[in-house]
């Protein structure tokens, strides 16, 4: 069954919503362990929440057709190293297939 363009864009929006919900849950978990030891747990949960938020933002940009979905973006949404270190790094984006649409 072939999906139409609107359905595909709706999938990106729903995925972004799920990422936001996951980030909210992770931040809630981080707040619960904020004053417990080890402190690294709080930090790690906060960083993962930030990565989920970045992923949601990328999915939203795709859903409004501001950027195109590329293999680089697929990797960026799945790979923690890309998410935390080079997702918005200019050098990485310059050498990728990332395309920003300007109208």
- The per-residue pLDDT for range 5-59, each reduced to its tens digit, is 768 888 899 999 999 999 999 999 999 998 888 888 989 999 899 989 988 998 9
Residue 26: CB atoms within 10 A of its CB come to 20
| pTM over cut 0.85 | no
Question: Rounded CA gap, 80 and 52, in Å?
Answer: 10
> Is residue 28 domain-resident?
yes
- The model's pLDDT over 60-69, given as tens digits with 9 standing for 90+, comes to 999 998 988 8
- Please check whether residue 102 lies inside any domain of the structure: no
Please name the residue ranges forming H helices in the chain.
Answer: 5-32, 39-63, 71-78, 80-81, 90-94
Range of 26's domain? 5-94
Say how many domains are in the chain. Answer: 1
Taking the C-alpha atoms of residue 102 and residue 47, their distance in angstroms, rounded to an integer, is: 31
């Amino acid at each position: 069954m072939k999906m139409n363009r609107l359905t595909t864009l709706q999938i990106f929006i729903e995925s972004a919503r799920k990422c936001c919900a996951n980030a909210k849950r992770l931040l809630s978990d981080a707040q619960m362990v904020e004053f417990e030891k080890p402190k690294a747990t709080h930090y790690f949960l906060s960083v993962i929440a930030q990565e989920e938020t970045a992923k949601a933002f990328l999915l939203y940009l795709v859903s409004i057709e501001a950027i195109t979905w590329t293999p680089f973006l697929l990797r960026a949404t799945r790979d923690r190293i890309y998410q935390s270190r080079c997702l918005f790094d200019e050098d990485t984006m310059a050498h990728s297939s990332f395309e920003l649409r300007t109208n």
